Chains A and B, each alone.
Chain A
Amino acid sequence: MSEEDRDTGASPLLASHDHHGPELTDHDPAHYPVPDPGHPEHLPRLTDVDPKAADRATRQVAFFFGMVPLFAIGFAVVYFAVPGDWFFDFGPLRANARNLGLGVTFGLSLLFIGIGAVQWARTLMSDEEMVDLRHGATSKPEDQQWMLTELDKTVEESKLTRRKIIGRTLLAALGFVFVPMLVGLADLGPWPTKKKRAETIEKTLWAEGVRLVNDVTFAPIKADDIEIGQLVNGEPENLQDLHGAEFQIEKAKAAIVVVRMDPNTIQIPASREDWQVGGILCYSKICTHVGCPISLWEQQTHHLLCPCHQSTFDLGNSGVVIFGPAARSLPQLPITTDAEGYLVARSDFTVPVGPSYFERDSRQDFEEGDN
């Protein structure tokens, strides 16, 4: 620590440092077994002593700056002269010639300004080394005292202490300024009362007798047509009747995956025996973690993997979580077949689909070992 440092001893930071016993010096062999080598000797640069080197450096800097107009003009030439359908091929890389030309010329013109400036500073500008001292962050006590006096004086001059009504109305004014902003929050959505939840996020389009159809094509799915190992990304048939935002909202909630597994290789609890048709099971496609759509299904392991955070659900075991951050098993949709052999839902999902929310009751969710 140098002499100058100690002069700023008024700072509490440095003052507290003093309380922790004697200062450590460079000569204390117990703490500093290796002596501080100090700063290296300051040597003049070649360009400081050799005029020829300085001239060379000057020419370099001028060259760098001189390149800038060349590339800037090059940019204009590329802009007007290169057709938009020329391409450069570098192996797997394929680049539009005009885009590449514009980028390279403009980028290099900027880069050469920088290189010239840095080379100028490194070789020709003054080469002094100096120490910039650090100070504590607190102001000096006399400055703090001065600030407090000024504050008191301002309060006195504003007459706030004698005419209190001004201060109170000002406070009220500042408070009411926020009312418009609070009113704007009302558009965030309905208040999630129990009734509101039951008719929005806890309800989907699925109901008794609603046919399962292919997503995109809306073709109904026959139970006989699904082979073991097959996966179908599905939606409810009545989704087609909706349009616009309503369509998107209901699609997002009602999306399902239908899979068929060999019934002898999976576990079907007694309570869900009639939720499936010969090993055809239907699950919500929406991950119970944060609601990504999942259809990454391994037909041999029966694992459904969410690509967002690697939550893994076992579709051969009522959708229980076997890995990852999801806390609840994937909701299963009870299905059966109608008179024509098409797959239909037996009811809505028995639990809300999708990610958790504060009010969600998790007691109905299937857990490993349930029947």
Chain B
Amino acid sequence: MRFLSSRRRHPAAKVALLLFALFVLGGLYNVVAPAERVSADNGYSQQQVDEGRKLFAVGCASCHGLNGEGQTTETIQGPSLIGVGAAAVDFQVSTGRMPMSRPGEQAPVKPNRYSDEEIAALAAYVASLGPGPAIPTETEYNPENLSEEDLARGGELFRTNCSACHNFQGAGGALPDGRYAPSLIGLDSKRLYLAMLTGPQQMPVFSDEVLTPEDKRVIIGYLNELHERPQDGGLALGGIGPVSEGLWAWIVGMGLLVLFAVWITAKGAKAK
């Protein structure tokens, strides 16, 4: 202590004290301040981000802007990608929806031209633009080991939140102006999870805080269970009940009856 007290009037003491105080404050802030939901350090390397920026400039920037800021002109409607997160990139690019081949009401699914590494690089770049939902891990979306009670709850959640657009069995449905809710039959679990998490295009977002990862997992489990169930009796046509049966009755049943009626009244072979 003598060492300190004897030098308290040293010209460097003020500077040293100031530096010390700053270090203490900074250290305290680091400990106390809340961690960001998705920090800039999200598991992607700087190299991936750089590669992603190059890919972005080629494939995405014409609509979404050179820095992903988005642009809205008469012909181009590219929303801002700041804060959409890696999850949105993974969903849109791996399903071939993005890049769009031309502007339209809805981006259709088409063959994906990007490799997994390229998608990861694009995701790294977009994730670096601002915090957003990260790509879920397999334990989050893998719907294995669900009890029957879980599946029933998944069904309830599905009918409450999803069936309005995607039909009771996830067969999809029409929206205004040529848009549509795609069919969910046969889709892999990750894709279903990403769609709920990011709310692509017209679909609302179902964030993890409100529809928890466990809720999403039981919904996926319910859909898998539903679509693996044998459909005795032929085409279910989305499981819309009497309507699909009516369609069969009208087209096949009535058609046969008409043909039969024609045969009954047709004149047979005559003697002359």
* Chain B positions 174-210 with a Cβ under 8 Å from a chain A Cβ: 175-176, 179, 199, 201-207, 209-210
Q: A305 near B175 (CB under 8 angstroms)?
A: yes
B179 cross-chain contacts in A, Cβ below 8 A: 298
Say yes or no for A29: interface residue by CB 8 A criterion. Answer: no
A232 cross-chain contacts in B, Cβ below 8 A: 210
Say yes or no for B231: interface residue by CB 8 A criterion. Answer: yes
A99 cross-chain contacts in B, Cβ below 8 A: 232-233
Cβ-closest chain B residue relative to A43: B270
A-B contact pairs, 24 of them (CB 8 A): A43-B270, A43-B272, A44-B270, A44-B271, A45-B271, A46-B269, A53-B269, A87-B230, A123-B268, A214-B211, A216-B153, A217-B215, A225-B210, A227-B207, A230-B205, A232-B210, A233-B161, A295-B161, A296-B175, A298-B176, A299-B205, A301-B202, A307-B164, A323-B176
A225 cross-chain contacts in B, Cβ below 8 A: 207, 209-210
Say yes or no for A93: interface residue by CB 8 A criterion. Answer: yes
A69 to chain B, nearest CB (A): 22
* Chain B positions 43-94 with a Cβ under 8 Å from a chain A Cβ: none
Known: A122-B264, A216-B160. A229 touches B270 (CB 8 A): no
Say yes or no for B165: interface residue by CB 8 A criterion. Answer: yes
A348 to chain B, nearest CB (A): 23
Interface membership of chain A positions 319-344, coded 1 if the CB is closer than 8 angstroms to chain B and 0 otherwise: 00001000000000000000000000
A175 cross-chain contacts in B, Cβ below 8 A: none
Distance, CA A323 to CA B230, complexed state (A): 40
Q: A226 near B207 (CB under 8 angstroms)?
A: yes
Say yes or no for A161: interface residue by CB 8 A criterion. Answer: no
A71 to chain B, nearest CB (A): 18
Q: Which of A45, A217, A224, A230 contacts B199 (CB 8 A)?
A: A230
A310 cross-chain contacts in B, Cβ below 8 A: 176
Q: B156 near A216 (CB under 8 angstroms)?
A: yes
A224 to chain B, nearest CB (A): 8
B261 to chain A, nearest CB (A): 10
A interface, how many residues as a size bin?
35 or more
Residues of chain B whose beta carbon lies under 8 Å from any beta carbon of chain A: 153, 156-157, 160-161, 164-165, 173, 175-176, 179, 199, 201-207, 209-212, 215, 230-235, 263-264, 268-272
Say yes or no for A365: interface residue by CB 8 A criterion. Answer: no
* Chain A positions 231-264 with a Cβ under 8 Å from a chain B Cβ: 231-233, 259
Q: A45 near B264 (CB under 8 angstroms)?
A: no
A128 cross-chain contacts in B, Cβ below 8 A: none
Q: Which of B160, B164, B203, B210 contacts A226 (CB 8 A)?
A: B210
Say yes or no for A350: interface residue by CB 8 A criterion. Answer: no
A50 cross-chain contacts in B, Cβ below 8 A: 271
A258 to chain B, nearest CB (A): 9
Q: A45 near B202 (CB under 8 angstroms)?
A: no
Distance, CA A43 to CA B160, complexed state (A): 69
A295 cross-chain contacts in B, Cβ below 8 A: 160-161, 164
B211 to chain A, nearest CB (A): 8
Cβ-closest chain B residue relative to A260: B205
Distance, CA A95 to CA B231, complexed state (A): 7
A93 cross-chain contacts in B, Cβ below 8 A: 234-235
Q: B232 near A46 (CB under 8 angstroms)?
A: no
Q: A259 near B204 (CB under 8 angstroms)?
A: yes
Distance, CA A192 to CA B16, complexed state (A): 83
Most buried by B among A94, A219, A298: A298
Q: B164 near A229 (CB under 8 angstroms)?
A: no
Q: A231 near B230 (CB under 8 angstroms)?
A: no
A177 to chain B, nearest CB (A): 38
Say yes or no for A203: interface residue by CB 8 A criterion. Answer: no
Known: A95-B232, A216-B153. A43 touches B271 (CB 8 A): yes
B204 cross-chain contacts in A, Cβ below 8 A: 229-231, 259, 297, 299
Q: B263 near A118 (CB under 8 angstroms)?
A: yes
Say yes or no for A222: interface residue by CB 8 A criterion. Answer: yes
Distance, CA A232 to CA B234, complexed state (A): 36
Interface membership of chain A positions 286-328, coded 1 if the CB is closer than 8 angstroms to chain B and 0 otherwise: 0000000111111111010101001010000000000100000
Known: A299-B205, A301-B202. A233 touches B160 (CB 8 A): yes
B182 to chain A, nearest CB (A): 14
Cβ-closest chain A residue relative to B203: A299
Q: Which of B161, B164, B205, B230 contacts A227 (CB 8 A)?
A: B205
